[in-house]
């Protein structure tokens, strides 16, 4: 008889984006009414041509681009990230940066260095599902911290959840899935809570380049006390999703443990992706600002159009996402599947971002609007407005 598989994996949920894609099986769409896919945040366009030429040139003419590199990443890229995350009067250096295979791996490395089976990590809900999945796989208990007004978590509420098993508090800003941008004072308050309790504050800043606020949006590196781990992704900024390049920023002593993890699971980050990321940081500043302006325009259209759908309530919007409350009695996981055929819309239900017993999950949808232009957002709003309640058969 075959012995059972690892329950830490079998008891976590299947990847939500992959599950949602299966809802498209057997459903057809016409050119007059194509599918509007707001299920995933990843850019669907390739990197700009100049960056693709850099990658192609490296692939053809740099033999070292096909070999193992340093476990912690290219030194020049590490220093470029350190410079980007430095604050006035607080200069970081390459020893405080690790380059990872995407931001998801940066999160996994941080958790591996901090927590083990039976430990706890406080995770605001709705949460980013891959964070929850990795905690499940590591045997670490995710302690839900409900977001309330403005889809913001409460640091005082977080303080009440701390136990002797707590190892870290996680924040994501701008947030996935809600889009909420956390005010500087709120992030500072979470730092104070974590510092007093001897915990690490992990801040996932995957979408920092699309924050609507100019300049640094927090001053964590300038604050005394406590350990801060920042996570970053090049995937959205330079459209490098398939090249898997991210970063982890922390104190140099923390990197001793991070290096053990990275050497074991990847040996080194993707060489071509690192070359592309470094070139992008040095040469694509104006292009990135154009990308940011377009995302902010789509955010404004989302607030305008989705915020005006009768019966629906837009709870928050920012970066790539909007968090939308629907008016129907059916749970969001059923509504989302119905929307594919009836509205030609693929979105993820709030149940994919919340504990099973969280009443907010069934009431909400995540709308990833970054790949839909302004006109398309208007069409999306019209299709959602045309939905009617599902009436069960009597």
In CATH, 49-283 is 1.10.390.10: no
Q: Structural domain boundaries of the chain? A: 7-45+287-386, 49-283
DSSP character at residue 30: B
Quick check: 23 pLDDT over 80?
yes
Tokens of 229: 């781990």
Q: Check residue 95 and give its pLDDT.
A: 97
For 124-148, write each residue's pLDDT tens digit.
999 999 999 999 999 999 999 999 9
For 280-310, write each residue's pLDDT tens digit.
999 999 999 999 999 999 999 999 999 999 9
pTM above 0.75, yes or no: yes
List phi, psi (to 5°) of 46. -75, 170
* Res. 328 pLDDT band, cuts 50 70 90: very high
Query: What gap in Å lies between CA 55 and CA 321, rounded to an integer?
Result: 30
* Res. 391 pLDDT band, cuts 50 70 90: low
Is the Cβ–Cβ distance between 240 and 234 less than 8 Å?
Answer: yes
Query: What gap in Å lies between CA 346 and CA 363, rounded to an integer?
Result: 16
Query: What gap in Å lies between CA 167 and CA 236, rounded to an integer?
Result: 29
In CATH, the number for domain 7-45+287-386 is 3.90.1150.10
Q: Check residue 384 and give its pLDDT.
A: 96
Residue 160: which residues within 8 A CB-CB, separation 6 or more?
Answer: none
Query: What gap in Å lies between CA 344 and CA 112, rounded to an integer?
Result: 41
Q: Do domains 7-45+287-386 and 49-283 have the same CATH topology?
A: no
Percent pLDDT > 70 in the chain is 99
Query: What gap in Å lies between CA 200 and CA 130, rounded to an integer?
Result: 19
Q: Check residue 394 and give its pLDDT.
A: 44
* Total length of the chain: 394
Q: Check residue 388 and give its pLDDT.
A: 86
Query: What gap in Å lies between CA 251 and CA 255, rounded to an integer?
Result: 7
Edge-first strand listing for the sheet containing 246-249: 97-100, 246-249, 227-233, 200-204, 166-172, 120-125, 141-146
Query: What gap in Å lies between CA 191 and CA 200, rounded to an integer?
Result: 8
Quick check: 42 pLDDT over 90?
no
String of DSSP letters for 51-116: HHHHHHHHHHH-GGGGS---TT--HHHHHHHHHHH-BTTB---GGGEEEESHHHHHHHHHHHHH--
What's the burial of 30, exposed, middle or buried (CB within 10 Å: 0-12/13-18/19+)?
exposed
Q: Please compute the mean of the pLDDT values over residues 70-83 and round it to a whole number.
A: 97
Please give the residue that has the higher pLDDT: either 215 or 135.
Answer: 135
Calculate the alpha carbon distances from 272 to 63, 101, 262, 268, 278 in Å: 11, 12, 18, 12, 10
Query: What gap in Å lies between CA 273 and CA 51, rounded to an integer?
Result: 10
């Amino acid at each position: 008889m075959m012995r059972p598989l690892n329950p830490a994996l079998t008891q976590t949920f299947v990847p939500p984006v992959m599950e949602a894609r299966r809802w498209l099986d057997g459903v057809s769409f016409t050119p007059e009414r194509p599918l509007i896919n707001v299920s995933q945040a990843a850019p669907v366009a390739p990197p700009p041509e100049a960056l693709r030429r850099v990658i192609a040139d490296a692939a053809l003419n740099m033999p070292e681009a096909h070999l193992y590199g340093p476990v912690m990443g290219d030194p020049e890229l590490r220093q470029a990230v350190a410079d980007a995350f430095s604050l006035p009067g607080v200069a970081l250096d390459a020893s405080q940066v690790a380059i990872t295979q995407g931001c998801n791996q940066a999160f996994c490395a941080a958790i591996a260095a901090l927590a083990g089976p039976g430990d706890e990590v406080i995770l605001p809900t709705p949460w980013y599902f891959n964070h929850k999945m990795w905690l499940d796989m590591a045997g670490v208990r995710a302690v839900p911290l409900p977001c309330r007004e403005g889809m913001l978590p409460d640091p005082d509420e977080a303080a009440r959840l701390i136990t002797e098993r707590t190892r870290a508090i996680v924040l994501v800003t701008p947030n996935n899935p809600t889009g909420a941008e956390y005010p500087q004072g709120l992030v500072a308050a979470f730092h104070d809570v974590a510092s007093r309790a001897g915990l690490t504050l992990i801040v996932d800043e995957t979408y920092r380049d699309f924050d609507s606020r100019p300049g640094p949006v927090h001053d964590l590196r300038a604050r005394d006390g406590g350990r801060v781990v920042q996570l970053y992704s090049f995937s959205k900024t330079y459209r490098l999703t398939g090249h898997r390049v991210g970063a982890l920023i922390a104190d140099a002593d923390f990197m001793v443990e991070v290096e053990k993890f990275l050497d074991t699971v990847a040996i080194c980050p993707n060489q071509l992706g690192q070359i592309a990321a470094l070139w992008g940081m040095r040469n694509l500043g104006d292009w990135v600002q154009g990308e940011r302006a377009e995302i902010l325009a789509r955010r404004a259209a989302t607030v305008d159009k989705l915020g005006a759908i009768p019966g629906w309530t837009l709870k928050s919007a920012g970066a790539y996402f909007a968090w939308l409350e629907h008016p129907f009695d059916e749970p969001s996981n059923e509504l989302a599947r119905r929307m594919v055929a009836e509205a030609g819309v693929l979105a993820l239900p709030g149940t994919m971002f919340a504990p099973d017993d969280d009443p907010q999950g069934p009431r909400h949808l995540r709308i990833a609007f970054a790949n839909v232009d302004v006109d398309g957002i208007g069409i999306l709003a019209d299709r959602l407005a045309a939905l009617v309640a599902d009436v069960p058969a009597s």
